[in-house]
Structure 1
Amino acid sequence: MNSPTLEPFREVIQEMKMQGKTYKEISTFLTSTGVQRGCSIDNIKRFCADNNFLKGVVSATHLELAVAKGIQETGPTFGRKTMTGYLSTKGINASEGRVGAALRSVQQPNHKARCHGARNLNPFPYHAEYMGHKLHMDQNEKLVMFGATHVLAIDGLTSNIVGHSTMPVKNNLIIYENVYRPAVLEYGMWDQNHRIERIWPEMNNRVNYPIKTALVNLLDQERINMEDSTVRFCVSNLTCQIASIGINRVVDSWNAHRIPGRGVPNILAQHGCVKKVTKDLLPCASYQIPDSH
């Protein structure tokens, strides 16, 4: 039987469940709004069960709105797999089939363009035996003329992006401090290092090319002068910040999307590498050797 105390909050509870909120989070929210009775975790569980508010079940209308918002935030290049991963990072859980249908419904032209532009990103056989076997690190300099360089690190077996950073120019100290060191401290030590091949097309299409197109247009219109050192610094600073937003969204979506025949990178990499390293073996980039004199 439904709790009469929770009945006035039916729509609120249903909306929070569709957003992937836990029973504890719903209870905490209701308590903060002044509800004093009936909002225990057990009561909320019973109320949701009685009303079929199943975890992760999103209505078609809510899903289409979420997909439309996702397209606004990420652009038109996210397909059903990466959009499903992106939505899951926002607490919205839906099957790839439903997300694909929503993408076709919300943005038909973008869907057709993705179908026509489909390509095999990994045409060569590849094998990694375990998490920690192969670490792929590489830089992307598609925006180097505008003062932005990306560096990514990705595990070979799980395809989990374990570290990334955007900087004005390639800087080994920044790469060590912001990419390699955090990855090793969190996941462990890899046996082999390789270059990245598969992920850059994703980053270019979804982050670099749209930004580069806009900046080249500004150059053509003579709105910016990259020969001026002050302008060059400002453009670099802004480009790095904008690109970082896009890179973060792609990384979160990639790590949360399902790879056919393998699984979700975040889940596959949750136990890390076999070999673990302590902080004292990986000093900060700012560490200075004491003067011997």
Structure 2
Amino acid sequence: MPVLQWLNPDFVKDIFESNTCSTIEEARNYICESYPQQKSFTARTLQIFMHDNEISYKKPLSKEELEEQVRIATTEIGGVAGRKAMQGYLRSKGIQALQKRISNAQKIVGQVYFENRRQDIQHQLNPKPYQATCFGYNLHFDQNEKLVEYGIVFVMAVDGKSAFITRASIMPRKNNITIYDQVFAASVVDFGLWDQTIQDCGREFFLSIFIQDYLKDFRVKPNTERTRPPFRQVTSCKNNRVERVWQEVNARV
């Protein structure tokens, strides 16, 4: 039996085409307010009604709009993602598109990436570019023991977005308290608490990691994921933001 027989399909279609409502729940509330004399119904009932009358509340993206979204996504996650992974990433951003349309857009936006994926060599290249949305998003730590035989150890902290060296210190040996006091704490006092710290798995950063985790509820950064862990321990090859600075330091030693 058809549902909502009293409801005009053109009225529902006009709600979405005029951008009066953008979701089914909003449309249900709007219709109930417009027809107070009718019995209330659920969003699921309205969804069935729209399906029976071939009404869509999501306007498909044009070819140019989809290419622009694919271009933005490619700069964010790199060229290793094929049509399926790209579709999932776009869905996470609220963008719906068929895999065939996404594949055609990838051929235009990233032709080199597309050919590399066909030859199965894209995974051998840098699969994911580094991304930091704002100053204070990531703080990278690392130590340099090139002159450890002379009793000199360099420790540095670099902001991920700007590559700005927030603090650097020289010490006779790696020490948790010294690194925390002269590098981590000094950076936080001057610039505030970072959303995430990134360092290697060495024990010399344990105190800084503990304090970062202890203060994680005080991270107040707009437009950032609140589910991000306060710290990450990675290998040196994944901490390139600060590792690349050592080349200049070593050249001056």
Q: TM-score when scaled to structure 1?
A: 0.34
Quick one: higher RCO (CA 8 Å, sep 6+), 1 or 2?
Answer: 1
TM-score (norm 2): 0.38
Q: Which has the larger radius of gyration?
A: 2
